[in-house]
């Protein structure tokens, strides 16, 4: 192999990335941490060390990929590698390769399905959806002795904020995900001495930004970011750690049904009109009848007045002439359904109004909290939230349906009914 002198001294945080052997390592969390250089250098070093290593380096768009990685990599390695512009592949003399790819939308993932790579590097991972990330994870395989790892760089914000925060910051794992596979290395501009020496005013520029941007870009805060739709939840003030059902209350719910996910939230309204979201349910791949059985099970210990459901459930199917509403209401124990007011802007305004001082969310509703804090503004409609990534919209939609049903507080005559239901208790101290 031709000898190439690689210049540059890694920071202490970049060294941690270089030696990380976790299956999934995320690096960064703030602007100016030297993420792209560290990611590119890590891939180069691995290609030199492991013969016949197959790598994939991905960014959201080809333009970003070319400016941030292709041109710098070819400049560094010069004639020590060969490069195919048609295939976008850098080949080392020991047989190792780096495929340079992009993922501008979910449709681009089709080009990676069925492929195998030993190492996958994702630059600016929060610009990708969780679906795109999962497709790339499936490519991390191969019948050889080479390591199988994924390296990601990231900043707070973007369409992928929620899943990156869940896996690497909150460390909240689902079935099949192992905590020991994930490592996060926090790096800020203060760790990048080379940048501070070259541009000493950079920190001052970040400090002059609005607080949300400054906290995210300078200090790496994942609790609030530019474009976040519900900043009201960022300080945790609306989260109730312990919830006890009031003796007099009214229980209602919201349901967003789709085959990709059935999402349910249940709310308790006390005598003062305060709302608490105390229970959630979400599951994909359920038929209408199966979803109704799940909802009935979630509500079996409660006297639910009604559930506001997505209006399309009342549409009759052409093949049977039966609506989704009719199918679900045939299931024993299914609470009454009402047609939701599905106006988006008005609905989000109502949710925001309740969050101002009159609505709380139980800490047990972890998915709703994660989804609500991950929603971003729609680029074309200022008062609406984005409907992508779709996997984080279901539970917030269900909450919007419930709130738009104009939940009225219980009346004193409900007290005897509450006693019969065994729901007499003490209001939570949070109130």
User: SS3 for 52?
Assistant: coil
Residue with tokens 């203060």: 190
Both 203 and 314 in a single domain?
no
Q: Which of the four pLDDT bands, split at 50, 70 and 90, describes residue 215? A: confident
The structural domain count of the chain equals 2
**Would you state the pLDDT for residue 183?**
97
Both 254 and 382 in a single domain?
yes
Both 253 and 345 in a single domain?
yes
Q: Find the angle CA(116)-CA(117)-CA(118) to the nearest 5 degrees.
A: 135
Assigned domain for 223 exists: no
Assigned domain for 6 exists: no
Residue 247, CA distances (Å) to 17, 250, 411 in order? 54, 10, 12
CATH number at residue 308: 3.30.420.280
Q: Which of the four pLDDT bands, split at 50, 70 and 90, describes residue 415? A: very low
Looking at 287-365, list the stretches that DSSP marks H as alpha helix, in order from N- to C-terminal side: 288-298, 324-329, 344-357
240-289 pLDDT per residue, tens? 988 888 888 999 999 999 888 999 999 999 988 899 999 999 999 999 99
Assigned domain for 224 exists: no
Assigned domain for 165 exists: yes
Both 194 and 255 in a single domain?
no
Q: Which of the four pLDDT bands, split at 50, 70 and 90, describes residue 416? A: very low
Number of C-beta neighbours around residue 260 at 10 A:
11
Both 240 and 156 in a single domain?
no
Per-residue pLDDT averaged across 388-408, rounded? 93
CATH number at residue 35: 3.40.50.300
Question: How distant is the alpha carbon of residue 145 from its chain centre?
Answer: 33
Both 244 and 199 in a single domain?
no
349-371 pLDDT per residue, tens? 999 999 988 899 999 999 999 89
Residue 64, CA distances (Å) to 60, 71, 100, 112, 377 in order? 7, 11, 11, 19, 23
Among 19-23, 256-260, 381-385, which range has the highest average pLDDT?
A: 19-23
Residue 206: which domain range?
12-217
Both 185 and 249 in a single domain?
no
Both 58 and 93 in a single domain?
yes
DSSP characters over 147-191:
--EEEEEE-S-STTHHHHIIIIIS----TT--GGGEEEEEE-GGG
Comparing 191-200, 327-336, 414-423, which segment has the lowest mean pLDDT? 414-423
- Residue 413, pLDDT above cutoff 60: no
Both 416 and 279 in a single domain?
yes
Assigned domain for 3 exists: no
Both 32 and 114 in a single domain?
yes
Examine the fold and report which residue of 169, 188, 217 is the final residue of a domain before the chain moves on: 217
Both 374 and 309 in a single domain?
yes
Both 208 and 311 in a single domain?
no
Comparing 90-94, 200-204, 383-387, which segment has the lowest mean pLDDT? 200-204
Mean pLDDT, the chain, whole residue set: 87
Strand locations in 167-274, DSSP E?
A: 182-187, 239-240, 250-258, 261-269
Assigned domain for 373 exists: yes
User: SS3 for 251?
Assistant: strand
The rounded distance, in Å, linking the Cα atoms of 363 and 361 is 6
**Would you state the pLDDT for residue 2?**
64
């Amino acid at each position: 192999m031709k000898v190439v002198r690689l210049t540059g001294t890694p920071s202490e945080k970049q060294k941690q990335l270089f030696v990380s052997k976790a299956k999934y390592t995320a690096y960064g969390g703030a602007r100016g941490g030297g993420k792209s250089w560290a990611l590119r250098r890590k891939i180069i070093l691995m290609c030199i060390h492991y013969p016949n290593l197959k790598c994939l380096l991905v960014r959201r768009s080809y333009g970003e990929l070319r400016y941030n990685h292709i041109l710098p990599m070819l400049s560094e390695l010069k004639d020590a590698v060969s490069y195919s512009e048609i295939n976008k592949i850098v080949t080392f003399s020991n047989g190792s390769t780096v495929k340079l790819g992009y993922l501008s939308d979910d449709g681009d993932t089709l080009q990676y399905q069925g492929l195998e790579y030993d190492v996958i590097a994702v630059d600016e991972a929060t610009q990708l959806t969780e679906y795109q990330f999962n497709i790339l994870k499936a490519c991390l395989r191969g019948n050889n002795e080479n390591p199988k790892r994924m390296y990601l760089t990231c900043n707070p914000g973007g369409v992928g904020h929620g899943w990156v925060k869940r896996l690497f910051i909150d460390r909240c794992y689902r079935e099949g995900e192992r905590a020991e596979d994930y490592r996060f290395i926090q790096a800020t501009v203060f760790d990048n001495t080379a940048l501070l020496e070259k541009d000493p005013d950079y920190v001052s520029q970040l400090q002059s930004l609005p607080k949300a941007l400054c906290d995210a870009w300078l200090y790496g805060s994942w609790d609030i970011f530019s474009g976040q739709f519900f900043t009201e939840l960022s300080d945790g003030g609306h989260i109730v750690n312990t919830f006890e059902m009031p003796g007099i209350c009214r229980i209602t719910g919201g349901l967003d049904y789709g085959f990709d996910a059935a999402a349910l939230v249940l709310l308790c309204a006390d005598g003062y009109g305060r709302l608490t979201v105390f229970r959630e349910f979400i599951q994909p791949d359920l038929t209408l009848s199966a979803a109704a059985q799940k909802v009935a099970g979630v509500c079996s210990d409660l006297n639910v007045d009604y559930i506001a459901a997505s209006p399309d459930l009342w549409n009759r199917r052409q093949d049977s002439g039966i609506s989704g509403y009719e199918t679900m209401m045939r299931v024993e124990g299914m609470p009454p359904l009402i047609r939701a007011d599905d106006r988006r802007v008005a609905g989000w305004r109502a949710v925001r109004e309740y969050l101002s001082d009159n609505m709380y969310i139980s800490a047990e509703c972890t998915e709703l909290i994660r989804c609500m804090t991950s929603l971003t503004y729609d680029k074309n409609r200022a008062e609406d939230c984005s409907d992508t990534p779709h996997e984080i919209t279901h539970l917030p939609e269900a909450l919007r349906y419930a709130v738009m049903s104009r939940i009225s507080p219980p009346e004193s005559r409900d007290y005897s009914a509450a006693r019969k239901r065994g729901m007499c208790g003490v209001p939570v101290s949070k109130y």
